[in-house]
């Protein structure tokens, strides 16, 4: 199950993107809306979502972005990661990686002052590696 193949790489990449997307949506959309109760905190013009054409364009854009992310991730997983990164433990590890990475991308906004924004960019780049190794530590590779 989930042996190294292109189909498994696509599935693992989709799991990673979904983990990232769920946590990112929670942190960037749901929590600000629940704290403020104002739809304008997440959508600049909420009335534009009533127009079917604009809603369809938004939906198609999001789907295309997710497909591009999944395809890119599948390429990297298939090309550069060995058999031990596949299987059920691999799926859990990739989902954790996506979730941890989403939190670490948002964390500099929570903790850094405005004058330290360049440091935030460096921390976001480093968060990719930290999230990867944290997920690997939380779900160790099989021997």
Q: What is the pLDDT of residues 69-106, one digit of tens each?
A: 999 999 999 999 988 889 888 999 999 999 999 999 99
Give residue-wise pLDDT tens across range 112-137.
888 888 898 899 999 999 999 999 99
> How far apart are the C-alpha atoms of 7 and 1, rounded to whole Å?
11
At residue 7, the pLDDT reads 92
| DSSP3 helix / strand / coil % (the chain, rounded to 5) | 85, 0, 15
DSSP string, 28-91: IIIHHHHHH--GGGT-S-GGGGGSHHHHHHHHHHHHHHHHHHHHHHHHHHHHH--GGG-HHHHH
Give residue-wise pLDDT tens across range 29-71.
888 888 888 777 777 777 777 788 888 988 899 999 999 999 9
CA distances from 22 to 50, 98, 103, 135 (A): 24, 9, 11, 17
């Amino acid at each position: 199950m989930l042996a190294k193949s292109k189909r498994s790489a696509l599935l693992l990449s989709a799991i990673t993107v979904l983990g990232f997307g769920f946590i990112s949506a929670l942190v960037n959309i749901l929590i600000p809306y629940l704290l403020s109760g104002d739809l304008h905190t997440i959508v600049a013009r909420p009335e534009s979502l009533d127009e079917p054409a604009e809603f369809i364009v938004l939906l198609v854009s999001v789907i295309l972005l997710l497909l591009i992310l999944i395809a890119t991730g599948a390429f990297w997983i298939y090309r550069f990661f060995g058999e031990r990164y596949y299987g059920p433990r691999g799926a859990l590890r990739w989902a954790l990686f996506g979730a941890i990475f989403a939190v670490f991308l948002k964390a500099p906004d929570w903790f850094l002052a405005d004058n330290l924004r360049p440091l935030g960019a460096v921390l976001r780049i480093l968060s990719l590696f930290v999230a990867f190794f944290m997920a690997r530590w939380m779900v160790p590779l099989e021997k």
